[in-house]
Amino acid sequence: MNGWTIALIIYVLASTGSFAPVARILLKDVELHPGGPSFDDSPHFSDDAKVRLQQHYDRMHGALSYWKSQTAKHKAFYNYCLIWITLATASVPFLAQAITGDPQSKWLVTTIGAHAAILLAFSRAFRVENNFKAFRHGESEFYDLRRRLLDRPALFGKTEAEQLDSYFEQVEVIRRSIRVSETDNFPSIEDITPVRHANGDSSTPPTPPGA
């Protein structure tokens, strides 16, 4: 077993082993953690407003869990792609100059190049970076908005009713922005082809879960 064979084995084991924690993140959902004092503890709202705010948050729970899970999954895969594509880009030109008559040297360069090309193709096809930013930005925007309402409700309006209506409206804007980003970043036949019903009518596909 020569040095080229050892290097090939090390690369395969390293790239496969480093993907194992990424795969675990991709295959499971992330649970939401308590965010500290909530609406029930706020001194700024009446009991009726607290009930409405808490019910609204409960309805948002599924979407928030989905956003957090998608953020974690896209971040993990994005970091994996970034590391290995960068290593391949930096090493392949030098390895190409060092290729000998040993077939294993060619296999090493081919494996590294193919691995980087596959990661780049998946990253671009699923727009991993764009989705990571979209879900992370939406998640952060929601919690920032929620904290502002808890700390400074006067920013949302003069009366309690105005404050709640403004808050609910801004949350809807965040939801729509994430929905638009998600559909833009996940092109598919279902996204552009109407669903045909038996009576010949057509409609757009249903919104993805959690959006």
pLDDT tens per residue across span 62-118: 889 999 999 999 999 999 999 999 999 999 888 888 888 888 888 999 999 999 999
DSSP conformational letter for 155: G
Is residue 204 in a domain?
Answer: no
Residues of the domain holding 139:
3-29+47-186
The pLDDT of residue 189 is 41
Is residue 40 in a domain?
Answer: no
Please give the Cα distance from 31 to 177 (Å, whole number).
23
Is residue 19 in a domain?
Answer: yes
| Cβ neighbours, 10 Å, residue 9 | 13
- Cβ contacts of 177 within 8 Å, gap of 6 or more: 138
16-28: pLDDT as tens digits: 999 999 999 998 8
Per DSSP, helices labelled H in the chain are 3-26, 47-98, 103-125, 128-151, 160-185, 189-192
Overall domain count for the chain: 1
**Nearest Cα to Cα of residue 27 among 85, 81, 76:** 76
Is residue 202 in a domain?
Answer: no
